[in-house]
Each structure stands twice: as C-alpha cells, then as structure tokens.
Structure 1
Amino acid sequence: MKIGFDNNKYLKMQAEHIRKRIAQFDDKLYLEFGGKLFDDYHASRVLPGFSPDSKLQMLISLKDKAEIIIAICAKDITTDKRRGDLGITYDQDVFRLVKEFQKRGLYVSSIVVTQYEKQAAVERFCSKARRRHLKVYKHYQIDGYPTNTKKIISDEGFGKNDFVQTSRPLVIVTAPGPGSGKMATCLSQLYHENKRGIRAGYAKFETFPIWNIPLDHPVNLAYEAATADLNDINMIDPFHLNAYGKITVNYNRDVEIFPVLKKMFEGIFGTAIYQSPTDMGVNMAGFCISDDAVCRDAGNQEIIRRYYDSRTRFIREECSEAEVQKQELIMEKAKITPDDRPCVVAAHEREEASKTYAGAIELADGTIVTGKTSKYIGACSGTLINALKQLAGIDQETDVIENNAFAPIQNLKTEYLGSHNPRLHSDEILIALALSARTSENAAHALEKLPELRGCQAHITCDISQVDLSIYKQLGLQVTYEAEKK
C-alpha cells in the first residue's frame, strides 16, 4: 500500500519533543494521554505508514524516565460501563492495561479512582487492585468543578484528594476511555506538587485533530467523522491566533475548557503557563506526513467508511438521524460522496448486472475484484474467494474449492445447527478452501494469499452477518456495507 507517513521520524521527533517539555518544568511532567495507546487503527488508516502501536513504541523509548497512572471514574465502575471495541467493563480494562504495560517493561505506579464516594463496588475494585500489588489513590467529587476555580484550587478542592506518590520525571496519565478524569488527575497533582515546592508541568498528547495541518484537511475531517457520536467539532484555536497570530487547529471541547484551565494554572502557579490549548499539546504527527496526497485520500476513505458505519447504527437504532446527517455534512466539507470509494461503485455495478447482492475488493495495486451471491455462497464469501484467485493468478472461471466440500458444511448448518441459510459465510468458505488445499495446488496457492488482503478496501451491497464482518476485520480488510438491505 502507498505510504504517506514516516513512522520512524515520528517516533524520534515525538520522544525528543516530550523530553524538551519535561525540561521546561522542574524535571516533572504530567502528560495526559488521549486516544488509544494500543492498536490505534484509526491513525494507521488515515496516516498510511503510522504503526498502530506507535504511541506505545514511543513510550517504550522513554520507559526509563516514565511511569504510568491509570485513572478510572467511580461511576463507571458502579454502572459496569463497557468499552465498545472490546466488550469488557472499564474496571476489567484497567487490569488488562496494567498487564499489557508491564509485559512491555513499562512501570505502572498506581491507579486513581476519580469521583470516589465510598461505593461498595468501588471498594471491591480497590481490593482487587491491592491484591495485585497496585497502589490505589482516591480523588473526590468537587462541587463547582470545573468552573469554581477558587474552591478547586484550595484545601477543600484538590487539597482533599490523595497525593499520588510518583518517582519519575514523566508521568503518563491514561484511562480505559473518555470521561475517566485524566485531566482532573493531572491538575490535582500539579496542585499538590506545587504545595511541596515542585513546579511540575502538564501537557496533553492527542493525535487528532492534527494542529498544524489545515482545518478542512481530510485527515482532520476524518477525526470529526470518527467522533460524530460525541459531536466533536474541529475549529481554529482562537486563543493561539490571538496570542501569536498563527492559525492552528484544535477541537471544541479543549477550546471551551481552556479559559477555566488557564485560571487553574494561574491559581496553582501564580501565572498562566500556556496561552492556548495548542500550547498544551505535544503532538508531532503533522511534521511526519511524507506524502500529503496519500494521506488526503486515506482521510477521505475513512470519512466514507464512518458514514456507512453511522448509517448502520441508525438502522439498528443505536444512534439518532442527526449523527448520519453530520456524516453527510462532513462529506460535503470534504467534497466527496460514497462513489469516491471505488469498491462501492464496482460493487453496485456487479449487483446491477447480476441482479443479486454483490461485493467488491480493491487490492493493493488498484485492481478491483467483484463477487456475488450464489446458491452456495453469500456476497462476502464470493468476493473473498475471487480476490484470493486474483492474487494467486488463477482464472476467475476456475474453481478452487471442490464441489464436494460444500455439501457437508451446508448439511451441518441446515440439518444440525438449525440454520435456514445454506450459503457459506466467510469463515466456512475459508474452511472449505483449506480442506481443498490438501489436494489442490490452486486452493493451496489461493490460501497463501490471505495476508495480502490486509489494508485492502471492500464494500458489500447488503447487510452482512457478524461472522462475515469479524472475518473481514481479522483479515485486515476495511469493509463498508449497506445494512438497510437485508
């Protein structure tokens, strides 16, 4: 696939910039980490060349200087709030994150429970953490947070929170998800450090929006599309423009909260340490775009994928129509339509020609392969097999799966598992291909081509099953589909 982002340059530049930010204070920096530390697939999709674990690798390069605090909101423990991507609760994810960090040699010093109110479920969580030899600190609800800065910056505000004992110059504050209290944890620590005579600093590390590329750049618009459910809006940072006369990009929540943060910094330090939300950030991703055209195209593809995702959520009554309308508005800003996704056009053409549901996969070299529903297989399976044949140099009219491989699987589905659909899903067609590979060189060669599907674009003209969606994702295919067509 075409590369548009220099990942090695990013790792070096990002680590060096964080070291410089640490040195600006008393060799102590609390760094709020937004977004995903592990498996940042959104970034790798819109910045081709960005490794999904780039932020983690950057941290590993600083591991001798860094320690990690994981924040979790007490309310999220009591309500069993779950991560949508992993399907596990926030409290379970805290322990998963601890293991993942420790496995990579990173030091997790403690857990902070924010908005603590002596809830029974929270006490059980704290007990579990201590049994795992993790230090747990408690931060409390502060009346008037975040606007009543006079009370917040006092013994009745941050002063009543536990002071988290840290030992390294860089303190990463992360969490299972948004709303966990990362920023409040950082600010509370600044207050306590300052009372102890340490002028510790604060910075924020979020990859998107990228502050030094245009507001309407597809990569930044793709961030708006990704957060349509939160209604985040990219905007020019007015504080940075006023202070320095320079145009930079930020997003509405940071811009809205900045006057309050500035007051807090003044209350803690006696002066404002930053003049704008952009000043607080340390993101160097914009300097590492090596091919702007590639990243623009990748951003546009992500916007269209997010549009289809919101449309699916709306059909399944998981979001309002306003979210879909926002995605349509973002496409208008980017001056694109779903037809700017080549596999969408190809899939629709195959559907019209075959008079049945169809699909298309755009391979790495730009070749587009289509497939359709038949009596044996669904659109996802047909498209997948045809793509593997194309990659293996096998004629599309050549069968790579033995006819007698279909019947046993179909019989199992309909006679024993109660399915009314005899057509093979993507996992079943791959099993049939693997069975055929024992005796067929063509099947074996097609099977070997599975890794080459990673990063390719796909579209299916109907709703698809969870198992088909799961297989496509496992293969690294970036798929869109039309959930309204059953």
Structure 2
Amino acid sequence: MRIGFDNDKYIELQANHIRERIAQFDGKLYLEFGGKLFDDYHASRVLPGFEPDSKIRMLKSMMDDVEIIIAINANDIEKNKIRGDLGIGYDDDVLRLLDVFSSMGFMVGGVVITRYTGQPSAEAFRTRLAALGVRSCLHYPIANYPTDIEGIVSDNGFGKNEFMETTRPLVVVTAPGPGSGKMATCLSQIYHEHKRGVKAGYAKYETFPIWNLPLRHPVNIAYEAATVDLDDANAIDPFHLEAYGESTVNYNRDIEVFPVLKALMERIMGESPYQSPTDMGVNMAGLGISDDEIVREAAKREILRRYFHTSVAVKQGKAESIQIEKLRLLMNQAGVNEADFEVRTKALLKAEATGGPAGAIEMPDGHILTGKTSDLLGAASATLMNALKYAAGIGDIDVISDTAIHPICHLKTQHLGSRNPRLHSDETLLALSVSTTTNPIAEELMKHTDALRGCDAFFSVIISEADERLYKKLGINVCCEPRYELSTYYHK
C-alpha cells in the first residue's frame, strides 16, 4: 500500500502541541476526545500510513502527565444503548475501556455519570462500579442548558454536580459514544477547579474534519460521508475567518454552539481563551500528510465504500434512502462514481460470466483477483482462498481437500439445521488451519492472512454476516452490491 501520511511526525507534533496547550492554562487542561481513542480505522483508510492506535500511542508518549475520565449518559444506561460496532451496551463498554486503559498503564480517574435523575439502571451501574473499586460521580441535567449562562455557571448549575478530584496536568475525557456529555463534563470540572483556585482550561481533540485542509478536500468530504446519518456538514469557520482572516474548516455543530461555549468560558474564567471553534482544537493531522495525491485517492475510495455500505443498509431497512442521495452529492463533489471502483467492476463481470454470486479483491500490488460460488465454497470463501494463494505465490491448485470440506458441510446441513452446505469464509479458514497438520502449502497460506489487511473486496450480492465479520477481522475493506442472492423476505 502506498503511504501518504507520516505517523511518527504526527505523534510528535500532536504531543508537543498538547503540551503547549497545557502550559497555556497554568499546567491543567481538560481535553475532550472526540471519535475513537484507538482502532480509528476510518483515519487509517483515508490517511494511508496513519496507524489505528496513533492517538493512544501519542498519549503514551506523555503517559506520566495523563489521567483519563470516562463519561456516560445515564439515559443511555437506562435504555441499554448498544455500540453497533461491538454489540455491547454503553455501560459494558465503559468497563471494557477501563480494562483497556488500565492494561496500557494509564491512570483512570473514574467515571462520570451525566444527566442523572435517579434512573434505576444508572444507580445499579454506579453500585457495580463501587463494588469494582472504581470512583464515580454524578452530573445532573441543568435547566435551559446551554443557553442560560448565568444559571449554568452557578451553584444551581455546574455547582450541583459532583466534582472528581484529578491530579495529572492532562485530563482526557472520553466516552463509549456520542451524546455522553463529554463537553459538559469538561466545563463542569473546570468550574469546580476555578472555584478551588486552579485555572484549568479546555480543548477539543477531533481528527476530522481536518481544519487546515480545504473544505472540499476529499478527506473532509469522506468525513461527511462517514457521518451522513447525523445530518451534519463541514463548513468554513466564520469566527476564525473574522478574527484572523484565515479560512479554516470545522463541523457545523461546533460552529453553532461556539457562541454559547465562549460565553460559558468567559463566565467561568473571566475571559475566553478562544476566538473560534478552530482555536479550541489541537489536531495536527493535516501536518502529518506527506503525499496529498495518495491521501486524496484513498479518501475518494472511502467515499465510494460509504456509498455502497449505505446502499446495503437501505436495502436491509437499517438506513433511510435520503442518505444515498446525500452520498451521491458528496461523490459528485469529490469527482467519483461507481465506475471508479474497479474491484466492483471485476466482481460484477465475474458474476455475469458465471451466472452466480462472485467476488473480487484488489491485492496490495494492484492486481485484482476474483472468486465464484461453487458446490462447496461460497463466493467470499473462494475469493479469500484465491487471495491467500496469490499472496503466498502459489498457483491455482486445491489446497483444502474435499475430504476436509465434506464433513463440515455434513455437520452444517444434517446437524446444525443449515440449508446452505457451502462453507463460509470463517469455516474455510478453520478447514485450512486443520489442513496445515498434513499439508505444508496450507501452512504457507495461513502465514499470509496479514497480507490482506487494507485490501478492498467487493461482492455481487450481499454476503452473510459471518463472511463480513471474518473479512473485517482480517482488515479487508469489504463492500457489496445492494442485492440479495435469493428472492426471499428473510435473510439470515
């Protein structure tokens, strides 16, 4: 894969910039972390060379100065809100995050339960945290938030919230998902700090949109494509333009809330340290781009992926068709269309030639391989095997014997109630793994699974959830034509 982003430079610049911001506020900064602290695969796709764990690696470089607070909305606990990518509740994800941060050596200050009004599930969660030895505090809804500045910055506003004592210069506030109250948590903590004579400050760390790239740069368009379900958009920051005469990019929600946020900071601190939403940010990602052409092409691909993912979601009843229209507008702005996705073209041609479901995968060297449905393997399995053979430099030979496949097919249909005897890709990998005990070629193929990370795959029909999960675990960017293989109503 071609690299267009200098990850080491980015980490160094980012850490130094945050240190400068800490110094700006007499050594105490509350940093709201937007997006994912680790596993940021969107960033790694649109900025080739960006490592998915770059943010956490950056924090590790200043670990002795870092303390982490996790915010969670009590209403999300009560409603058992689920993280779609992990399939677990927000409350369980808080525990997962606590484990992850602690295992990495970070100091975790505790958990802030926001918008607490006595919800039974939130109270039970707090009891659970206490039993685990985790500190927690409660933040309450504030009447007329965020417009009633005087009421918010008072003993009846932020003053009602419980204060979480912190000891490190940099307090990172993160959450299991959006709407958790990260910004309000930061401001409430700063209010209490100032009441105690500590002149703590606030900043925000969002990777996208990238403020010092043009508004219509494909990387920023790709972020709009990724958040099309939120009905938000990138925009020129008018406050920054007025204050400095410089055109920068920010998110419309941050622009809309900035006057209120500025007024809150003026009330708490005496004056606002920022003249614009861009001022509040600490993101240095734009300065890490080493090859703009490579980054542009990667972002255009991501826009196409988002289009096909959303098209499938609409077909499955998980998204609204208006999102497709918005994505088409974004595709036009980026100058791309479906025909530009060559791996899709090859998959559809293979399907037309064979009369059945087919797939294609683009290898790191640009070569595109195809696979088709057979009596024993589904299209996803066949495509995966062809890719592994190509990566290992092995010709088109049968690596898994029929004697290894047939028992699995028999188990599926005769004992597990499946009507489809063909192996899914995860079952195919298991059969390949078993074959390594007797077949050295199978062993060689297993060594090359990591070679597929970052590759694009496309299928002529919507593949099974099992196939999609396996491809994602291998780091393959998988997309499908929004069409089912069978004309039935139930597809599982």
Would you say same fold, with TM above 0.5? yes
Is 1:422 paired with 2:421? yes
Contact 1:464 1:483 in 2 (8 A): no
Q: Secondary structure at the match of 2:19?
A: helix
Q: Secondary structure at the match of 1:229?
A: helix
Distance 2:11 2:160 in 1: 38
Contact 2:111 2:134 in 1 (8 A): yes
| 1:316 counterpart residue number | 316
Contact 1:67 1:106 in 2 (8 A): yes
| 1:74 counterpart residue number | 74
| 2:35 counterpart residue number | 35
Amino acid at match of 1:87: G
Shift of the 197–445 alpha-carbon distance from structure 1 to 2, 3 Å rule, reads closer
Distance 1:5 1:411 in 2: 49
Q: Secondary structure at the match of 2:127?
A: helix
Cα offset, 1:178, TM superposition: 0.7
CA offset digits 1:388-411 (Å, max 9, x no partner): 222222333x22222322322222
| 2:329 counterpart residue number | 329
Distance 2:139 2:149 in 1: 17
| 1:484 counterpart residue number | 483
- Structure 2 matches for 1:54-69, cutoff 5 A? 54-69=54-69
Q: Secondary structure at the match of 1:70?
A: strand
Distance 1:13 1:52 in 2: 17
Amino acid at match of 2:121: A
Amino acid at match of 1:297: E
- Structure 2 matches for 1:411-450, cutoff 5 A? 411-450=410-449
Distance 1:186 1:402 in 2: 60
Is 1:462 paired with 2:458? no
Cα offset, 1:53, TM superposition: 0.9
Distance 2:135 2:463 in 1: 45
Cα offset, 1:301, TM superposition: 1.2
Distance 1:416 1:58 in 2: 50
| 2:204 counterpart residue number | 204
Distance 2:439 2:67 in 1: 54
- Structure 2 matches for 1:228-243, cutoff 5 A? 228-243=228-243
Q: Secondary structure at the match of 1:140?
A: coil
Please say which of residues 407-416 and 473-482 is displaced more in the overlay.
407-416
Distance 1:445 1:402 in 2: 16
Amino acid at match of 2:445: A
Cα offset, 1:453, TM superposition: 1.0
Distance 1:135 1:91 in 2: 15
Amino acid at match of 1:99: D
| 1:104 counterpart residue number | 104
Contact 2:460 2:483 in 1 (8 A): no
CA offset digits 1:362-382 (Å, max 9, x no partner): 000001101111222111111
Cα offset, 1:119, TM superposition: 2.0
| 2:21 counterpart residue number | 21
Distance 1:116 1:438 in 2: 57
Cα offset, 1:442, TM superposition: 3.3
Q: Secondary structure at the match of 1:202?
A: strand
Q: Secondary structure at the match of 2:246?
A: coil
Q: Secondary structure at the match of 2:18?
A: helix
TM-score (norm 1): 0.97
Distance 1:385 1:204 in 2: 45
User: Paired residues, what number?
Assistant: 485
Amino acid at match of 2:450: P
Amino acid at match of 1:294: I
Is 1:224 paired with 2:254? no
Q: Secondary structure at the match of 1:5?
A: coil
| 1:302 counterpart residue number | 302
Contact 1:25 1:201 in 2 (8 A): yes
Distance 1:353 1:217 in 2: 38
| 2:123 counterpart residue number | 123
Cα offset, 1:454, TM superposition: 1.2
| 1:286 counterpart residue number | 286
Contact 2:358 2:379 in 1 (8 A): yes
Distance 1:59 1:91 in 2: 24
- Unmatched 5+ residue regions in structure 2? 486-492
Cα offset, 1:268, TM superposition: 1.4
Cα offset, 1:484, TM superposition: 2.1
Contact 1:5 1:290 in 2 (8 A): yes
Cα offset, 1:386, TM superposition: 1.3
Q: Secondary structure at the match of 2:419?
A: coil
CA offset digits 1:17-39 (Å, max 9, x no partner): 00000111121111001111121
Contact 1:214 1:249 in 2 (8 A): yes
Is 1:167 paired with 2:167? yes
TM-score (norm 2): 0.96
Please say which of residues 425-434 and 259-268 is displaced more in the overlay.
425-434
**Identity among equivalent pairs (%):** 56
- Unmatched 5+ residue regions in structure 1? none
| 2:215 counterpart residue number | 215
Cα offset, 1:440, TM superposition: 3.5
Cα offset, 1:354, TM superposition: 1.8
